[in-house]
Chains A and B, each alone.
Chain A
Amino acid sequence: MGVRSWWLRLRGLVAREQVERELDEEVRFHLDMETQTNIRRGMSPEEARREAHRKFGGVERHKEAAREARGTRPLEDLVRDVRMSMRGLARSPGFAAAVLCTLALGIGGTTSVFSVVRGVLLRPLPFPEAHELTTIWLANDREGIEEDVTSWPNFQDWRSQTDAFQEMVAVSGGRFTVTQEGPAEEVRGAFVTDGFFDMLGSTMHLGRGFRAEEARDGAAPVVVLSHELWVRRFGAAPSIVGTNVILSDRPYTVVGVTQPGHRHPHDAELWTPLTFDDGMQGLRESRGALWLPIMGRLAEGVTLEEAQAQMDGIARRLAGEYEVNEGMGVNLEPLHETLVGDVRTPLMILFGAVVFVLLVGSANVANLLLARGAVRAREMAVRLSLGAGRARLIRQVVTESAVLGLLGGLLGVGLAAAAVSGLERLVPLELPRLDAVGLDGGVLLFALGLSLGAGLLFAVLPALQVAGADPGEHLKEGARGASSGGLGRLRPLFVVGQFAFAVVLLVGAGLLTRSFFNVMAVDAGYDPEGVLTAEVRLPDPRYPDSESVRAFYATLVPRLQSLPGVEHAGVITAVLLDRLPNMGRIALEGRPDLEEVLSRHSVTRDAATADALRALGIELITGRLFNSTDGPGAAMVAVVNETFVRRFLPEAGVDGALGQRFVFGDGTEEDPGWITIVGIVEDAKRSGLTEEVRPAAFLPWTTVPAQVGQLVLRTGARDANALHLVEGLRAALQEADPTLPLTRIRTLEQAVSATMAQRRFLTVLLAAFALAGTLLAAVGIYGVMAYLVGHRTRELGIRAALGAHRGDIISGVLREALTQAGAGLVLGVAGAMVLSGLLRTQLFGLEPADPLTFTGVAVTLLGVAMLASWIPARRAASVDPAVALRGE
């Protein structure tokens, strides 16, 4: 049957009325002609017509046969079945609402999470041949940092010595202040070596990337803007290329604007060539100064393994040539992995959880369908006995389930659309590749498959009910849904399954919640309450040297300290250490035995005023903090933390460490820059509550002031909200320099909380899923117990009549419920033991097989089972024996 056949079928379906009319007309013509012939043969008109009709046979039957031959029957049947299903659902709105709600939430949730998984994890990066893009990490085996950044000289050597990469660029992040055409705004930018845009393969919306001459030191500054920034701050002016914009108080010439969505790396909004100012020459030459992230594109046909082998060789050569490179290797990682590797596990956990919720909800839907099937058993029996084909009825029932599935799926997709569009607001953290998340074809296909699959799966049960239905049974007097009795045995199994899944969900949520609280309970080593922080950036042109920076803060800090309500105020280079803290290498004085090994270790290096440390609540253990004698011209001093002492001066101990000297590796021959330790402070977890503390050294702000400083203010009042200080802070800054924007204003509590954003999000979401799953399981067990009780009214009535105690009956029902729940619990615990191992990386302070959590979950669910079964139990006990025995 070829194309013609399908065309005719389509026409038969679409233009059905017209086709019917044509059939009519054709038959009528035939009959008329036949009649006329008969008349010519001598019959009377009525006789003629009758004869014609007789010869033709049953007109309707033949029309029907012709229709059959048209072959559109199955489609017409389907359309009719669907219509009937819709009508049937409209007649049972309660049932329909329950099923559709459950399915919508289940399918909607699963689709939402899937769209995130697909966009973030599955989609390749939006660059040509994106699998070739690689992050090139320094494997810092000495300090056990597998993914470290490297130095400029290393970068140059890697680049020139390899042929496994067609291009290699350095990409260093930075922040810029935009003040033009609007309020001061801080945006992320990146310093890149030339070849960056070519390597990525990205096209420009306007203009071009960087040329080699623009990347030379001393060249006029140029910038490429992101599409979003161009629209947001520069009015999408098409003539922007070639004009100057002011960034962080410096003029840059715009040479290009990227396509929308191009924000690599780390949401950068502008890119400028990486050049070395006069002050930065040390960084250019120092091989030990690790600050540069490197990316590359593999050469054609080169695999990651081959490139890794070659880079290993290069790293070994360099380690042999340069002492400072000893123990340094290279680690290659696909760029996609770098961006999303961290969120893979949490996302997959969430996906698994939401699928479980869908399964638990589906069990409820199956129960509802079984119940409905039992109710309509009588109707089915009547139809069967009237001659309806069993296959026909089964087909109808299957259609109904499919319609339910698809409708539920449709609603679910609507929910998912709403969730995904609001994703940026709902999700409090920066998901990598959020721009790639959306309801695209693949996601919709997934939702369709899920809906159809659910619908057809559900269809199995009612279909079995119809298939096994015995009309005689149902038409007897007093028949009690006999056919569902067989399938009704499945219901307790559903409960077992639901509770098993609920256990897994609750265990997961429980473990994560306890981890969360464990993290919160960590002693941070500083006191985050009542502390306000803000960042100030002093632009180069007006503050070109240390003297001007020092002078600025010399006026600002006293003003801050004298603000009402301020107990301590100061400035520090970093409050909390983000991914790439300021590090430096040290060598200790007079420790010939340790010098070889330890001199290679690095410490975090910060400049701070004494009051800043006090404001942060970092306790002094021994010695002193900085005072007015520690300034430019005086001997260099430092305050170090306990870990510093433990790591480098273990025998000296805290008291013996005072007076020891060390030096950073960036000194010169004549003036190594010896620093004396004058104070020891307690460890502060500035890298996040779950991270190990690194050895830290604090230098006096007055000797090494920085252009970017974090102001720290502590309120005197215990429970005062630190944000009250913002007004005063702004005013003070205004007085000192009205043109400076104040950015990153937040309390220390908020800053700490932000480090836990991902953990919190995962925990909250998983807890929500677990709650949903538990509620659904409770509804499930309630429904099943209610059904069982209703089913046995007669038996219960007899027992009551025979004198059974109310209490006995209630406990009997509860025992049955507990058995089902208990079986589910056992299965669930076994499953949870296995699956919780997957959570290991997300846990803190407890093991995946934590007995307390498991016990708590088991007890909770048993309680839920009892609670949910309470009402049916009571109803069982209050059955009136007389009514039951009458057997309505």
Chain B
Amino acid sequence: MGDDRADMLQGTLDLLILKMLALGPMHGWGISQRIRELSDDVLQVNQGSLYPALHRLEHRDWVRSEWGTSENNRRAKFYRLTPLGARQLGEERGGWRRFADAVDRVLDAEGRVADKGPREGSKVAGEGDLAPA
């Protein structure tokens, strides 16, 4: 597994988590559930990498954690987005879009090199449209 790929995937996971928390504070399990739901079961977060990711985000002060009570009255650690994290989310969104566009363009290539700009009929990644991981 190349480092670049791991980084990219790590970055993607971070982005997903930040987005989830933008919708409201959540505990770790809740985050993984939501991602699965929203992606129609396509994106199943490797739960063993979820918590390291959350701790990483916490170190960067993009999320903060505190203990609270879950919906079924159990003690759980809730995470919420910080203003710094919200700004990071915005940046990463932009970056992701550029990345997704680039991948699309390459995948839709038909042998001609010097074409620029979107081609008719090619898919442009829009909001809520997540490419398969």
CB-CB < 8 A to A25: which residues of B? 75, 77
Q: Indicate if A29 sits at the interface (CB-CB under 8 A).
A: yes
Return the chain A residue nearest B46 by Cβ.
A57
Considering the complex, give the chain A residue whose CB is closest to the CB of B51.
Answer: A66
- Which chain B residue lies CB-closest to A34? B29
- The answer on a CB contact under 8 Å between B48 and A61 is yes
**A27 touches which of B51, B53, B58, B74 (Cβ 8 Å):** B51
- CB A31 to nearest CB in B, in angstroms, measures 9
- Tell which of A2-10, A101-109, A479-487 binds the partner: A2-10
Closest residue of A by beta carbon distance from B64? A4
Contact assessment for A58 and B48 in the assembled complex, using a CB-CB cutoff below 8 Å:
yes
- The reply to whether B59 and A26 contact each other, CB–CB distance below 8 Å, is no
Give the residue of A8, A30, A61 whose beta carbon is less than 8 angstroms from that of B58.
A8
Instruction: Say how far A273's CB is from chain B's closest CB, in angstroms.
Output: 69
* Inter-subunit contact A30/B59 (CB<8 Å): no
Give the complex CA separation of A8 and B56 in angstroms.
11
Contact of B55 with A by CB under 8 A:
yes
A3 to B61, CA, bound (A): 9
Which residues of the partner chain A approach B47 to less than 8 Å between Cβ atoms? 30, 34, 55-57, 62
B28 at the A/B interface (Cβ < 8 Å)?
yes
Whether, in the assembled complex, B76 has its beta carbon less than 8 Å from a beta carbon of chain A, the answer is: yes
Are B27 and A29 in contact, CB atoms less than 8 angstroms apart? yes
A32: chain B residues within 8 A (beta carbon): 74
The yes or no answer to A50 lying at the interface (CB within 8 A) is no
Residue A22 lies at the interface, judged by CB distance under 8 Å to chain B:
yes
Q: Which residues of A contact B29 (CB under 8 A)?
A: 29-30, 33-34
A266 within 8 A of B: no
Residues 12-69 of B contacting A (Cβ, < 8 Å): 27-29, 32-33, 46-49, 51-53, 55-56, 58-61, 67
**Interface residues contributed by chain B, number (CB under 8 Å):** 24
Which residue, B32, B51, B60, B67, has most C-beta atoms of chain A within 10 A?
B51
In contact, B60 and A66 (Cβ under 8 angstroms):
no
B76→A26 contact, CB < 8 A: yes
B122 sits at the interface (CB 8 A): no
A212: Cβ under 8 A from any B Cβ: no
Q: How far is the CA of A1 from the CA of B47 in the complex (A)?
A: 24
Q: Is the CB of A29 within 8 A of B76?
A: yes
Query: Is B88 interfacial (CB-CB < 8 Å)?
Result: no
In this complex, what residue of A is CB-closest to B53?
Answer: A69
Is the CB of A71 closer than 8 A to any CB of chain B? yes
The reply on A344 being an interface residue by CB < 8 A is no
Q: What is the CB-to-nearest-CB distance from A546 to chain B, in angstroms, rounded to a whole number?
A: 91
Contact B51 A26 (CB under 8 A): yes
How near does chain B come to A48, taking the closest CB pair, in angstroms?
14
Interface of B is mostly: helix
**A703, B77: Cα distance in complex, Å:** 104
Chain B residues, CB < 8 A from A792? none
| CB-based contact B48/A62 at 8 Å | yes
CA distance A66 to B67 in the complex (A): 18
**Chain A residues whose C-beta falls within 8 Å of the C-beta of B46 in the assembled complex:** 57
A250 within 8 A of B: no
* Distance in angstroms between the alpha carbons of A4 and B48 in the assembled complex: 24
Query: In the complex the two chains form, is B56's CB within 8 Å of A69's CB?
Result: yes
Q: Are B74 and A62 in contact (CB under 8 A)?
A: no
**Contact string against B for A residues 21-50, beta-carbon threshold 8 Å, 1 for contact and 0 otherwise:** 011011101101110010000000000000
Give the complex CA separation of A33 and B72 in angstroms.
10
Q: Are A26 and B28 in contact (CB under 8 A)?
A: yes
Cα distance A322–B53 when bound, in Å?
A: 93
Question: B60 near A29 (CB under 8 angstroms)?
Answer: no
- In the bound assembly, the distance between CA atoms of A65 and B61 in angstroms comes to 19
Interface centre among B48, B74, B75, by most A CB within 10 Å? B48
Q: Which residues of A contact B51 (CB under 8 A)?
A: 23, 26-27, 30, 62, 66
Known: A5-B60, A56-B47. A29 touches B52 (CB 8 A): no
Is the pair B59, A71 in contact by a Cβ cutoff of 8 Å? yes
Taking a contact as CB atoms under 8 Å apart, the answer to whether A70 and B55 are in contact is yes
Decide if A4 touches B60 in the complex (CB within 8 Å): yes
CA gap between A22 and B27 in the complex, in Å: 13
- Flag whether A20 is at the interface (Cβ < 8 A): no
Q: For A58, what are the chain B residues with a Cβ–Cβ distance below 8 Å?
A: 48
Q: Is A68 an interface residue (CB 8 A)?
A: yes
The residues in A between 66 and 98 inclusive whose CB is less than 8 angstroms from any CB of B are: 66, 68-71
Residues of B contacting A34 in the complex (Cβ-Cβ under 8 angstroms) = 29, 47
Question: Using a CB-CB cutoff of 8 Å, which residues 696-726 of chain A contact chain B?
Answer: none
* Pair A68/B52 contact, Cβ less than 8 Å: yes
| A55: chain B residues within 8 A (beta carbon) | 47
Expressed in whole angstroms, the minimum distance between the Cβ of B25 and any Cβ of chain A is: 15
| CB of A259, distance to nearest CB on chain B (Å) | 51
A104–B32 Cα distance when bound, in Å, is 59
- Give the complex CA separation of A8 and B70 in angstroms: 24
**Residues A57 and B59 in contact, CB atoms below 8 Å apart:** no
CB distance from B120 to the nearest CB of A (A): 43
Indicate if the CB atoms of A65 and B52 lie closer than 8 Å. Answer: yes
A47 to B67 CA separation, bound complex (whole angstroms): 29
In contact, B61 and A4 (Cβ under 8 angstroms): yes
* B75 close to A29 (CB less than 8 A): yes
Contact partners of A2 in chain B: CB under 8 A: 60-61
Closest-by-CB residue of A relative to B57 is A69
**CA gap between A678 and B122 in the complex, in Å:** 131
Chain B residues near A57 (CB, 8 Å)? 46-48
Do residues B28 and A4 form an inter-chain contact, with CB atoms below 8 A? no
- Given contact pairs A65-B49, A65-B52, enumerate 14 new A-B contacts (beta carbons under 8 Å): A3-B61, A26-B28, A29-B27, A29-B29, A29-B75, A29-B77, A33-B70, A56-B48, A57-B46, A57-B48, A62-B47, A62-B52, A66-B55, A69-B56
What are 5 A-B contacts with C-beta separation under 8 Å?
A3-B61, A22-B67, A29-B74, A56-B47, A62-B48
4 closest cross-chain pairs (CB), A and B: A57-B48, A62-B48, A4-B61, A69-B52
